[in-house]
Amino acid sequence: MTASNLDNESAKTFSDRIKNLEKILAKLESDWPQSNNHLQRWRQTLTTLNDLRSSFSLPVTCIGSVKSGKSTLINTLAGADLLPTGAGITTSFPTTVSAGRSFSAHIELQPEAAINEMFTRALSLLFNDDLDNHRLSLFEAADRLQINDLLNNYQRCGPLTRHGIFNESYRLLHNLVNGSEKVVEAYHTKQLDFTINDPGDQRYRLFIRDETLSPYLIGIRIKAPLKLLPPYLALRDLPGLDTPNPSHQSAIVQQLGESPALIYVISSRIGLRQADYQLLEHLRELGLEERLLFVINLDLDEHHNKNELESMINRCSDELRELGFTQPVYAFSALALFWSRPEILTRLNSTCRQRFTMWQDEEEKLAISAANANRFLARLSDLGKNEATTALLLHSEKRLQQIVGNTLRLIENQLTRLSGEGDALSSDLNQHHANRHKVDAVLKESERIITGICNDVEKYGFSSVTGWLNDKGRNSLHKHLSRIIDSYHPPLELLPEKSRNPLTPVRIIDHHFQLTVPAQLRERVVIETVSFMESLHREINTRLLSGCTPLFIICENFTGQESIKPEDLALPIKIEGEIPEFTLSSKAEERFAIIDKIRDLAVLWSTKIVRFKHHRPLGEEYSLQLKKATLKELPRWLTNYREQLKYAFLRHHLKECRELISTFFIDLTASTEIALELSAQFTGDSRLTTAAKIEELKKTETLLGELRNPGIMP
C-alpha cells in the first residue's frame, strides 16, 4: 500500500477492519481454547493499535507577537468560537485544539505538593526576614490577606524591576495568591483533573486567559468537530512570544521543540516590528527556521483599498526575505474566513454583521484574502500527510497485516491437518515431540540472539550518552553551559553602598543569578538533548535491524516464509516519554544554602586585601566565586543528568524495542507451534465433524483474505 492510499483511508475504515478481525479471533478462541494465549495477545495488540490510530495528532503551533490574531486563526480553522479573543492578552497558557466527535475541554492542575513548593520558595526569596519562620498556607483566606499586605508593602517600598526584568518571585507569588481563590475548591476536593463537556461553560476560557491561574496548570486540551483542519492535525495556541511575563518562556520553548511545524502570525495593522526581528532571530538560533509557516492576518478595515493591502503584504514579504526567510507567505483575513461560515454568520451581533457586509462590497480585497486562504488550507492538508503521519499509518497497518498473516498461517496449518496433508504431525507422536523440540530450540535461539543484540545496543546507547555529556569540545553541551555561566554579569548597580546586613550584597547577587542562569542552562540542555536523542534513536533502529539478520535467516528456514524482510520489523516510531529535567539543585542543597553563603562571605572578608588590590567590589568578587562554584559543580550535574537519561528514559525505550522484536519473531513461529499442540488432540475432537470444521475454517480464511493488504505483506 502506498502512503497516498494510507492517507486516504479514514479512521473509521481502519476501526471497522480492527473490529472484524477481533470477531474472527474471538471465534477462533471459542473453537480452539488451547490457542488462547496467542489469540488473546493478538486481540490486545489490535486494541492498542486502534487507540493509537484514533488518538494520534500532529501538533502545529501558532506563534507570534501579542494580539497578532493567533487565537482568531485557530477559531477559524476549527469553525467554532473555542478560544477567547478580544482586547488585551487573551492567551496566558498553552492550549491544544484537536479533532473530536463532540466538544470537550480537559483541564489538568498541578499537584498540591508542586504548588506548595513554588509558593514556599517565592515566599522565602521575597519575605524571608519578615515571616519569623511562621508557615503560611496558600489556601487559607487569613494567610492570603497577610501575603497581600506583604506584596503591597513590597510594591510601595522598592522597584519591581531589575535590569528591566519583572521580579519573577513577586509575579509568581502575586499570581499564586490571586489565583488560589478560583481553584481552592478543586484542591480541597482533590479534583485536579476534570473535563468540561458543555461549550457554554465559560470556565475553560477563564483558565486560558487568566494569568493568575497559569501557575496552577499542567495542560489545557480542547476537542471539537474541526471544520477546516485535516483529521491528524492539532493546533496549539501559545501566549505572545513578546509577552511581558517571563514565566511563560520555558513552556513556550518546550512547545516549540515538540512541534514539527510553526505558524508565525503577523498582524497587518502593524507589520513586522523590532520585537518580531528579535523573535525570528531567536527561532533561527534554536534551529526552528525550516519549520516556520508565515501568515499575515489581514485587517480589512485597516487597509482602504487593494493597493494599500498589497503594499503591506509586499512590505512584510520583502522584510522576511531580507531576514533570510524564503518560505511562502499566506496573507488572508482569518476573521473574514471565520464569519463567512453560515453557522457563525447567523450568530453575529449587528456591529459584526455590518462590518462583514461592508467587506462584501470590497471584492478585490476579499478576493486576495480568499485566494491566500485556499493556498494556506492546501498547505495544512499537505502537512497532515507528512512523514510522521505516514510512518504512524504504515506502522499500524504493518502490525494489522502481521496479525492477519499469523492467523491465516494458523488456519492453513489446521486445514492441512484436517485434510490429511499433515499426517506426519497428527499420526506420529514421536515426530510430534521432535517438532516440538525444534520449535523450542528456535525460540530459545531467537531469544539468545535478541538478548545479545539488545544488550549490545544498550551498551552503545549508554556509551553514546556518556560520551556526549563528557565531551568538552568547542560545540559540546559542556562548553555551551560553561559559556552561559562565564558570560553572567552581576547587577552591581543594584548593590547598596552601605548596608547594616553584610549578607545583603550576597543575597542580591545570588537571587539575580538564580533568576537568570539556571533558566538559560535548562533551555540549552533541552534543545541539545532533543537533537542528540533524535540522531541516537536513528542509529539504534539501524543497529537493531542489522543485528536481526540471523533471526530472519532462522525463521525463513524454519517457516518457509520467503517474503519475510528486515524492513517488515515494526520498530517504534519515536522515543516515548518526557526527557528528564536538568536540575541544578536538590532539597539538601537548598537546606544548607544559607550556611554556604555565610562561609562564602567569610572567605570574601578574609581575602579583602587581595580584593582591594584588584579593585573589585564585594558584589563582583562574590559573583566570581559563585561562577567558579557553579562551573565546579557542572560535571556533577551532567553526571546526574546522564544517569537520568540512561536509566529513566533510554532504558524504557530499549525495553520497548526488545519486546517488539521478541513479539515479532514469536508470532512468526506461533502458527507452527499451535499446529503442533493441536495435532495431539485431533482424534479426540468431537465438537464438530471434520467436514464442518473445514467448511468453517474456509469461511474464516475468506474473511481474513478481505482484510489482507497485498501492498504491505504479500
pLDDT of residue 228: 79
pLDDT of residue 679: 52
Strands 95-99 and 233-237: antiparallel
Partners of 219 in the beta sheet? 108
pLDDT of residue 553: 72
pLDDT of residue 117: 82
Beta strands in 441-530 (DSSP E): none
Partners of 61 in the beta sheet? 236, 262
pTM value > 0.85:
no
438, 558 in Cβ contact below 8 A? yes
In CATH terms, 58-89+243-385 corresponds, of 2.40.160.40, 3.40.50.300, 3.30.1600.10, 3.40.50.1360, to 3.40.50.300
3-state secondary structure 542-591: HHHHHHCHHHHHHHHHHHCCCCCCHHHCCCCCCCCCCCCCCCCCCHHHHH
Q: How many Å apart are CA 515 and CA 491, to the nearest integer?
A: 12
First to last CA, the chain: 11
Q: How many Å apart are CA 331 and CA 266, to the nearest integer?
A: 9
Count how many Cα atoms sit within 13 Å of the Cα of residue 686 in the half-sphere of its side chain: 1
pLDDT of residue 466: 92
Instruction: Classify 107 as helix, strand or coil.
Output: strand
Q: Give the residue among 593, 587, 571 at the shortest CA–CA distance from 664.
A: 571
pLDDT in tens, 434-477: 666 777 777 777 788 888 888 888 898 889 999 999 998 888 99
pLDDT of residue 673: 61
pLDDT of residue 334: 86
675, 414 in Cβ contact below 8 A? yes
Within 8 A by CB and 6+ apart from 115, the residues are 138, 176, 187, 215, 216
Instruction: Classify 239 as helix, strand or coil.
Output: coil
- Single-letter amino acid code for the residue at 43: R
pLDDT of residue 285: 82
Beta strands in 46-148 (DSSP E): 58-64, 95-99, 104-109
pLDDT of residue 294: 92
pLDDT of residue 150: 80
How many CB atoms are closer than 10 A to CB 303?
Answer: 20
pLDDT below 50 — which residues of the chain? 1-10, 88, 90, 162-165, 244-247, 421-422, 424-426, 573, 609-613, 682-688, 710-714
309, 365 in Cβ contact below 8 A? yes
pLDDT of residue 250: 55
Instruction: Classify 332 as helix, strand or coil.
Output: strand
Q: How many Å apart are CA 320 and CA 327, to the nearest integer?
A: 9
